[in-house]
Amino acid sequence: MTELVYQYDSYQRELEAVIVKAFSNKLVLDKTIFHPKSGGVDNDKGWIVYNGLETPVLNVYYDKDSGVLIHELEKEIDASTGTKVWLRLDWNRRYRLMRLHTAAHILSAIMYRDYNALITGGNISEDYGYDDYSMEVFDREAFMKAVEKANEVFKQALDVKIYWLPREEALKIPGVVKLAAKMPPHVDRLRIVEIPGVDVQADGGPHVKNTSEIGEIVLLKIENKGKNKKRIYFTVQP
């Protein structure tokens, strides 16, 4: 099992790790700062440094069959099990993903509070994010108001708290899961992301420490994608 260092410190940009398994251009490591594509957030990118050479990390993902976390490199490196390597994040990409991810949490909290809307799909990439909401009626004004309220939250400079709770205790919190058709993984303890007075969600991805870091949501587009699928596209200022 790979230790997910980013879950404890999303700001750690470099780390020494040990190769648990190497095959072709793929590595399994004992620990990592790279967030895989999961939870509706794109994977991190960066570099593996070995023998003074930097090899780009193109993809990070969980193998569907084994559940093992895979680091896919641009090319194979001459390293084997037990070898120490240095991990370096593409920090600009990671920080954009963090800002967009925390912004999405706040936006979803407002949509849930004001319209009882749950997320039915979505994704966050480096450039923008989108979320689908379980709204029967296409209400453009509702999305515009939610964005305005989210931007006001950012200005309050609220600390983002990260902690773990026993699964059963966590699931008793109202709104701790804002996905319409998906529950958190079946683990004994759930990682909780809390923005006091605004949102509490079970979540495994990287976030900013304070809402002031987000800046401002820029609304890109609103679409009616069908029943229970009202979509908002958004980004954050550079």
DSSP reduced 3-state for 179? strand
Residue 182 has pLDDT above 70, yes or no: no
User: Which amino acid, one-letter code, is at 115?
Assistant: Y
In the chain, the number of structural domains is 2
* Residue 213 confidence class, pLDDT cut points 50, 70, 90: very high
pLDDT at 175: 86
What does the alpha-carbon distance between residue 192 and residue 224 come to, in Å, rounded to a whole number?
A: 31
The model's pLDDT over 69-81, given as tens digits with 9 standing for 90+, comes to: 999 999 999 999 9
The model's pLDDT over 105-156, given as tens digits with 9 standing for 90+, comes to: 999 999 999 999 999 999 999 999 999 999 999 999 999 999 999 999 999 9
CATH of the domain at 154: 3.30.980.10
* Domain encompassing residue 7: 3-89
CATH of the domain at 22: 2.40.30.130
H/E run at residue 105: helix 91-115
Is residue 187 domain-shared with residue 200, that is, in the same domain? yes
pTM of the model: 0.95
Residue 181 has pLDDT above 70, yes or no: no
User: Percent of the chain beyond pLDDT 90?
Assistant: 90
Is residue 80 domain-shared with residue 150, that is, in the same domain? no
What mean pLDDT comes out for the span 176-183?
74
Q: Are strands 129-133 and 53-62 parallel, antiparallel or unpaired?
A: unpaired
Residue 57 has pLDDT above 70, yes or no: yes
Is residue 37 domain-shared with residue 124, that is, in the same domain? no
Q: Identify the domain boundary among 74, 89, 104.
A: 89
The strand pairing partners of 162, in sequence order, are 193
Residue 238 has pLDDT above 90, yes or no: no
pLDDT at 69: 97
Residue with tokens 């902690």: 163
What mean pLDDT comes out for the span 152-181?
92
Average pLDDT, the chain: 95
Q: Identify the domain boundary among 89, 109, 128.
A: 89
pLDDT at 183: 66
Contact 178, 109 (CB under 8 A): yes
Is residue 57 domain-shared with residue 109, that is, in the same domain? no
